Amino acid sequence: MSETRKNHLSIDGGQLKEDDHVSSYKPIPDSDGDFRKSKTSIHKSKEKLPNDEAEEKLLQKEDEAKITTRVDMADAKYVVGDHRNGDAKIELDANKRQFVGLTKEELMKYADDPFWVRLRWFMFVLFWALWVGMLVGAVTIIVLVPKCAAPPPRTWFEKGPLVDLSSEDLQAVEADLPLLQSAHVAGAFVVPCKDSYAVLEDNSSCLQAFKDFVGKAKKLGVKVIVDLTANFVSTSHQWFQLSENRSEPFSDYFLWAPGKDLDEDQNSELPDLPQKWVPTPNHPAWTWSDKRKEFYLHQFGADLPDLNFSNQDVVKHFDDVITRWMKAGADGIRLNKARHMAINSQLGKEQPRVSESPGEVPLWSDRLVTDGVALRELLAHWAHLTDLAATPPSLGYVICNAVQLRNI
């Protein structure tokens, strides 16, 4: 027995005898031999199978096997992924998306070139020259351009406040003067006389009462503005009666016009109206005078005929009215209804005013009776006259609709 055999031990700890040795391999079963025979037979049968085109080539010709592409492979970028599984990625046009500028060596070729050196210095000098030029220009404009004129100082009536007391008589206003002073009122509008032209009468009572009132108001620091309406006088006024009788020079103090012939279907003893002006609802602007046998114009009532300011004698009469009030101590004049003063005596064709609402009575608004061409000239004349008649001069004002007209 060999030496190795002698050293073998049994599982239970004892030595094995040579005759007791157990084989160390597993016997091949009988079924394994059958498997090898079947595998060999399958291989042989496969060789004998006829060609059923299962292994037919996809491309029959060698030329067709060449795949053409429009992608330039020089522009493709190969990106290797995980090398352990052999993955790879190809990015087409990757190199085209990358912009590669000049390298440092390429730039240095042009850095010291005389042409580029001169060009750099020229652009550098040009930039700073333009910058300095703009700075000098801005400073020059600020220094040399004339400054805006200071706004004119506001007048006392523009600073206000002003109180409208035109509906009260002078006695009632005089009793309120201490209250106006405590409220720091700058001025008050008053109506000394109901008739604006009554001041032209000799020994006018309202003029003397006004002088006494002004003296008390100025002691309390309240200025007085006379409220005047120059447009008309009453039908009982001497001027109208003389004009109705065609007495000179009063014949043209008012606006007179003959009537128009009536139509055949009209039945009236009076001629037709000269114009269809309707200054107030349902009241025409013309009224017939039996004495003069003509119509006279009135925009504010049949008993208030309009004066003709195209007549210079009428303008001079109102000049005297302004002068007397200013000499009596008034600080200014306010003209009511001034827009209707300048009337075209030629009596042109009227234009209807479009109603703002369906229920509004249609009125006639004609440029011949409102905001006439001569109105601006009249107001400028009276503003200048107010300055001259003020005490001291150049401190009087004409106010029309709360607008200063001194500088017209």
pLDDT tens across 337-346, in order?
888 888 766 6
- Give the tokens for residue 169: 């008589």
pTM score, whole prediction: 0.59
pLDDT tens for residues 310-345? 899 999 999 999 999 999 989 889 998 888 888 766
Section 381-393 average pLDDT: 81
With 0-12 / 13-18 / 19 or more C-beta atoms within 10 angstroms meaning exposed / middle / buried, residue 214 is buried
Please report which confidence band the pLDDT of residue 219 belongs to, taking 50, 70 and 90 as the band edges: very high
Return phi, psi of residue 37, to 5°: -65, -40
> Measured between alpha carbons, how far is 384 from 403 in angstroms, rounded to an integer?
15
> Measured between alpha carbons, how far is 190 from 339 in angstroms, rounded to an integer?
20
> Measured between alpha carbons, how far is 408 from 399 in angstroms, rounded to an integer?
12
Q: Which of 392, 303, 299 is nearest to 341 (CA)?
A: 299
> Measured between alpha carbons, how far is 251 from 239 in angstroms, rounded to an integer?
9
- The answer for residues whose C-beta is within 8 angstroms of residue 380's C-beta and 6 or more apart is 405, 408
Q: What is the pLDDT of residue 238?
A: 93
Q: What is the pLDDT of residue 12?
A: 46
Residue type, 306: D
> Measured between alpha carbons, how far is 357 from 361 in angstroms, rounded to an integer?
9
Residue type, 404: Q
pLDDT tens for residues 231-284? 999 999 999 999 999 999 999 999 998 877 655 555 556 666 777 776 665 678
Q: Where are the alpha helices (DSSP H) in 191-236?
A: 205-219
Neighbours of 5 (CB within 10 A): 13
| 339 DSSP assignment | G
Section 53-59 average pLDDT: 50
Q: What is the pLDDT of residue 5?
A: 46
Please say whether the dihedral angle defined by the alpha carbons of residues 267, 270, 272 and 276, taken in this order, is positive or negative.
negative
Helix, coil or strand: residue 255: coil
Residue type, 158: E
- The answer for residues whose C-beta is within 8 angstroms of residue 304's C-beta and 6 or more apart is 231, 232, 233, 234, 235, 298
C-beta of residue 165 within 8 angstroms of C-beta of residue 190: yes
